[in-house]
Amino acid sequence: MTSSGADGLLMRVRAARSAGVRQALRSPLAVQAARFLAVGGASYAVNISLYTAGIALGMHYLVAAVASYAIGFSFNFLANRHWTFSAGNGRLDQQFVRFSMLAALILVLDLVLLRLAVGELGVSKVLAQAVVILMLVPVSFLGNRLWSFGRTEPELG
C-alpha cells in the first residue's frame, strides 16, 4: 500500500470512528446520562453547600446529611421524571413510590459509607460526603432509569 493509500485508509477509519462516537453520544442512554449528571450536578452543589452549612451551625454530620438530602428530593424527582427520563406520561403515584424507595436506599447507603469514612477512616466530614455521593451516582442512575422511571403503566386520563 502506498503512503497516500495508507493515509486515505487512516482518514476513513478516523471518520468512521468519529461518526460512531457522535452516534453513541446521541443515543437515548447517553442523553439520559448527560441529563442525569446535569440534574445531579445542580443537586450535588446544593447538597454539599447545605451539608457544610449544617455542620458549621453545629449539626451532627449524619443529621446534616439527611437534611441536605431531603431538601433536594423534590427537585430531583420532578427534574428526573420530566426532563432526564421523559417519563411524565407514566403513573405519578407509581413513579413517586419507586423513586422514594430508591432514594431511601441511596440515603441509607450514603449514611453507612459516610459513617465508615468519617468514623473509621478519619476522612473529613465534607470530603467524605462529597466522595460518597459521587460513589452512589451509578446506583442512582441505573435504579432510576430501570426501575423508578422505567416501564410503568401510563397515567389514566
Mean pLDDT of 43-47: 95
Helix (H, G, I), strand (E, B) or coil at 90: strand
- Give pLDDT, residue 120: 97
Q: Rounded to two decimals, what is the model's pTM?
A: 0.79
- Give pLDDT, residue 11: 72
- Give pLDDT, residue 10: 72
Q: What is the band of 43 on the pLDDT scale with cuts at 50, 70, 90? A: very high
d(CA 63, CA 52): 12
d(CA 10, CA 29): 29
Q: What is the band of 1 on the pLDDT scale with cuts at 50, 70, 90? A: low
Helix (H, G, I), strand (E, B) or coil at 154: strand
In this predicted structure, which of 5-9, 65-69, 76-80, 126-130 has the lowest mean pLDDT?
A: 5-9
pLDDT at residue 151 tops 90: no
